[in-house]
Structure formats: structure tokens, C-alpha cells
Amino acid sequence: MNKKLLMLVALLCALPTLSALAKSEPQNVLTLKQALKNTEQQNLQLKRYPYHQKILTALKSQAALSPNPELSFEAENFLGTHGSHAFSGAQYTLALSQLIELGDKRQSRINYATANIKAQTIEYKNTRLALLATTAERYYQVLKFQALIALNSERKNTVKQALNAIEKRAKAGAVSSADVTRMCYALSQVDLNTAMLQSEFKRSRLALNELWQEEQVSDYYAGDLSQIAAIKSEAALLDMVNTAPEFALLQQQYMQQTANLALQKSTGQSDLTLGGGVRYNQQTDASSLVFSFSMPLQLSNANSGNIEAAQHQLTLLNEQQGQLRIQLRKQIRTLYAYYQGKAAQAQLLTQRVIPQAKTLIKQSLKSYQQGQISVLQLLDAQQALFDAKRALIITHSELYQVLLTLERLTGQPLIETHQS
């Protein structure tokens, strides 16, 4: 057999190909750490939270205000008939009154406003963690398609080299034109797959950029999907349920509603208005003091409906806490089992399937050299290796997605990630 042809066939089995070695260094490299930093600094949703904080702080200041005193002036018995003509018999009263809030209303308003601020702070932390998790998820999607495109590029070079070899053998009459057509079809299939992957790669990059105010143009995304961090035990993950972001927010909402119930009860209590002043009688040229006292007759609680609604809301939140705890534990168990299954698949691909595919290529190459199989059968062996490597990339990507979902549920910090 032609030595050049044997060397060419051997070259088909070499990974990576020479074109990958000749690839120029990327200019704009984005890391996961930088992507997370972009989200913290540029995400519009996070940028709005300081304004919400200022609004709630202003409302707390408003809640701490007490009612202002009222100054009143009253004139009587003037511009009348008989002895009250003009202002000769007029009486003037200058008084000052003050509404005195009972039922600790002011402190109840402050407590409720404080609970609102705390709930908003927890909501901000949860939103931040969720956005960082989304950033990491989208970044790993970009990494997946980047790796698949690189793998498909290797496959294309392999098919092109095989096509050149078959075309030479076809000219020499060693193979039929059908073999050439089959290889051309295989090359077209690779090109089609490349076009599909490029489209998904672009879409995943745009999805990542949606999280930022400024577009990040990158030639290459740093990271290795095969570097999977060790997952915590199922028991350790289940123990984190009580400190999970969703659970922490629900607990604060319970405290918030408790403060609201106290506020509604205090609002239902009647307030007292005290007043005092001076009265002057122009006709007698005499002055006297006046005193006033007023308080609504509380024949029924005017705020009973709001009090009952607040009580029912507390009961509902208490039920939700128990339901959320059960739901989170179920989700964690499901995700943990799924992670273990995918990890087992990745281990099987790495330790058995891929090594066996490489062995199959060596054996197929030897059989081809002895004329026992065709070059197309050799390429089938090569395709098996590419399929196994593609499956490993996808499995690693799925492992990261599960890991990030677990971190989102348990409240693990995402800024310190597995890769920089």
C-alpha cells in the first residue's frame, strides 16, 4: 500500500489536529470571574435596588413622625342684632390642641417599616444570588457550544483528509465513486452540524450579554468543563434548607406580617385629643381659660377587618414555611440523584467508552493496513470516538447546570466559583 496513504490515514486518528495547534491566540478572553463581576456591576435589576432602599428608608422616617399640634382661633357673637351689633359683644378664643396616639401606634409603624427594609434586603441578596447563578449557567452554556464547535472542527479536518485519501484511491481505481460520494455527504453533514452549533453558540453569547448593560465582545471564553467540583453530601445539602434564600425570605415575610398585625391592632384603638386656650369677652373685657377633651366612642373596632386579614396572612405564611421546607428537600434529593447519575455517566465515558473507542481506532487502522476493512469502516471507528467525546462534553455541561441549581436552592455563594 502507498506509504503516503498510510501516513495520511494515521493522521486521521491524531487528536487534536494540526489546525488546532496552528490556531492563533485569542485576543479578547472572558473568564467566569469577569462575567460574574459584570453582572454585579452592570445588571440593571441590581442597580435599581439602592433606590428601593432609599424609598423604604424614607417611609420609615415618615412612620416615626408624631402628629403636629393644631392652633385654632374662634370668633363668636359679632355682626349680630341688638346687643351683638358690630364687634361690641364679640368673644374670641385662641386654643392649642394635640392628638395623642394611643396603643403604641408610632412604635408599631416604625417596627413595620423596619421589617419592610429587612425583607427588601433579603430580597436583594436572593436576587443577586439568582442573577449570579443565571450568569454562571449561561456562561457554561457558552463553554459547552465552544467545546462542541472545537470538537466538530477536528471532525471536519478528519473527514476532509479522509476524502482526499479516497479521491486519490478512486483515481487509481482502488475504490468506487460511491465511496467518494459517501465521504462528500459525511463532510456536508459535518458542515451542517457546524452551522447549527455556531447558531447556538451565538444565541448563548447573546443570552449572556443580556444580563449586562454594556455588551461584552469576546473571542474566547476561558474554562474547562471537565473540571467538576466535588459536590457536598446529600445530608449536608438537606441541612442547608433552613438557611436557603427562599426560606429566609419567607421567614422575614412572616416577621413582616407579625409587625403588620401589631400595627393593625394599634390602629384599631381610639386616640385622644386634648386642647387648651384663652377666651376673651370684649363686652365685659374679661378673659378666661378653656379646656377641651375628645375621644371617639368605640362602639365597634373600625379596623377589625384589617386585623382579621393580617391574622389569616400569618397563618398562611406559617403553612407556606412548612410546605417550602418539604418542597426544597424534595428538589434537593431529586437534583442530587440526577447529579450522581450524570457523574456516573461521565466516569463511564472517561474511563471506559473513550479509551475503548481509541483502542478501536488503533485496531481498525491495523485492519485497514492489512486490507481487511475499508477506509469508511475506519472512519466509523473515528466517529465513535467523536460521539463519545461529544457525549462527555454535554454530560459535563449538565453536571454544572445541576450543581448551579443546587447552589441556587441552598444559597451557596457563586462569586467564588470553580473556575476563574
pLDDT digits (tens, 9 = 90+) for 55-98: 999 999 999 999 999 999 998 887 766 655 667 778 999 999 99
Average pLDDT over residues 195-207: 96
- Give the per-residue SS3 of the chain: CCHHHHHHHHHHCCCCCHHHHCCCCCCCEECHHHHHHHHHHHCHHHHHHHHHHHHHHHHHHHHCCCCCCEEEEEEECCCCCHHHCCCCCCEEEEEEEEEECCCCHHHHHHHHHHHHHHHHHHHHHHHHHHHHHHHHHHHHHHHHHHHHHHHHHHHHHHHHHHHHHHHHHHHCCCCCHHHHHHHHHHHHHHHHHHHHHHHHHHHHHHHHHCCCCCCCCCCEECCCCCCCCCCCCHHHHHHHHHHCHHHHHHHHHHHHHHHHHHHHHHHCCCCEEEEEEEEEECCCCEEEEEEEEECCCCCCCCCHHHHHHHHHHHHHHHHHHHHHHHHHHHHHHHHHHHHHHHHHHHHHHHHHHHHHHHHHHHHHHHHHHCCCCCHHHHHHHHHHHHHHHHHHHHHHHHHHHHHHHHHHHHCCCCCCCCCC
Mean pLDDT taken over the chain: 86
For the ranges 91-100, 221-230, 372-381, the one whose mean pLDDT is highest: 91-100
With a pLDDT cut of 70, the percent of the chain lying above it is 90
Average pLDDT over residues 239-246: 87
By mean pLDDT, which of 13-27, 56-70, 205-219, 350-364 is the weakest? 13-27
pLDDT of residue 284: 84
Cα 90 to Cα 80: distance, rounded to the nearest angstrom: 9
φ and ψ at residue 416, rounded to 5 degrees: -95, 90
pLDDT digits (tens, 9 = 90+) for 305-323: 999 999 999 999 999 998 9
CB proximity list for 186: less than 8 A, separation 6 or greater = 159, 163, 379
CA geometry: angle at 28 spanning 27 and 34, to 5°?
145
Longest dimension (CA), the chain: 141
Binned at pLDDT 50, 70 and 90, residue 186 comes out as confident
- pLDDT of 22 over the 80 cut: no
pLDDT of residue 334: 95
pLDDT of residue 307: 92
By mean pLDDT, which of 15-24, 45-54, 259-268 is the weakest? 15-24
pLDDT of residue 356: 94
- pLDDT of 4 over the 90 cut: no
Average pLDDT over residues 194-198: 96
Pick the residue with more confidence: 6 or 330? Answer: 330
Cα 168 to Cα 8: distance, rounded to the nearest angstrom: 11
Cα 122 to Cα 413: distance, rounded to the nearest angstrom: 14
Pick the residue with more confidence: 230 or 32? Answer: 32
CB proximity list for 207: less than 8 A, separation 6 or greater = 138, 141
CATH number of 3-296+308-410: 1.20.1600.10
Binned at pLDDT 50, 70 and 90, residue 232 comes out as confident
